[in-house]
Each structure stands twice: as C-alpha cells, then as structure tokens.
Amino acid sequence: MTRRSKALVPFAVGTGCLVVLIVVFTDQRRDAIMANGAADGAALEREIRAGLPLGSSLSTVEGLLSMRGLEFSFDESPKSVYALARKLKGSTAFASKSLQLEFRFDDASKLKSIDAKVLYTGP
C-alpha cells in the first residue's frame, strides 16, 4: 500500500461517518418536526382532548386519529381504541419519545375516557 492510499483510508472512513451522522440527525429532526403535526406530546394530547369531548362516537374518534395520521387499533373486549404518536419533539437518535393514548367506550360506543402516557424507547 502506498503512502497516498494509506492517507485516503482515514479520509474515506471519516467522510463516511460524517455522512451517516448527517443522515441520522436530519432524519430525526424531520421525524420530530413531523411528529404527526404536533410540537410535542402535551400539545398533541390537548388537541385530541379538545377535538374529542366525552360522548363522542367511535367513528368520530377513529376519524380524528386517521386525519392526524396516528397508528391505532380497536380492541373489542374492553371496548378501547389504542393509538400511538411516534417520534415526538424531544426524540433523539438514541431515544424516541412517543405518546400512547387509550380511548375507552361505553356499551353504546360513546367515548367515556381518554388516558395518555408518554413513552421513551431506546437502547
């Protein structure tokens, strides 16, 4: 290996690492900004609670969650909808901040409660 090629190896490795860091942090920033349109978990929770008063129908809840682009599913036995907003503001390359929501319904499929919890996941 020549002296010139030995000098190029650390340069190439350093450049590759720099590119990976830029991609990771740009992607994290984009995801945090997108964050389903919310600045943070508290703002999203306030928006959802304001848009879904108690007594709202199941279809209204599902419609709002769909419109906001949130992941959700309905569980028949406890009559609950579970939703998750991922990568909220405050997420990093090493830890993700999410908002977990549980919407409980009565026998007439009317909203009776909303529970929210912030979750952190990472290595």
- 62-106: per-residue pLDDT in tens? 999 999 999 999 999 999 999 999 888 888 888 889 999 999 999
Model pLDDT, residue 89: 86
More confident residue, 2 or 37: 2
Structural domain that includes position 79: 3-121
Which is it for the CA torsion 61, 69, 97, 88, positive or negative? negative
Mean residue pLDDT across the chain: 81
pLDDT band at residue 61 under the 50/70/90 scheme: very high
For the chain, the domain total comes to 1
Q: How far apart, in whole angstroms, are the C-alpha atoms of residue 123 and residue 120?
A: 10
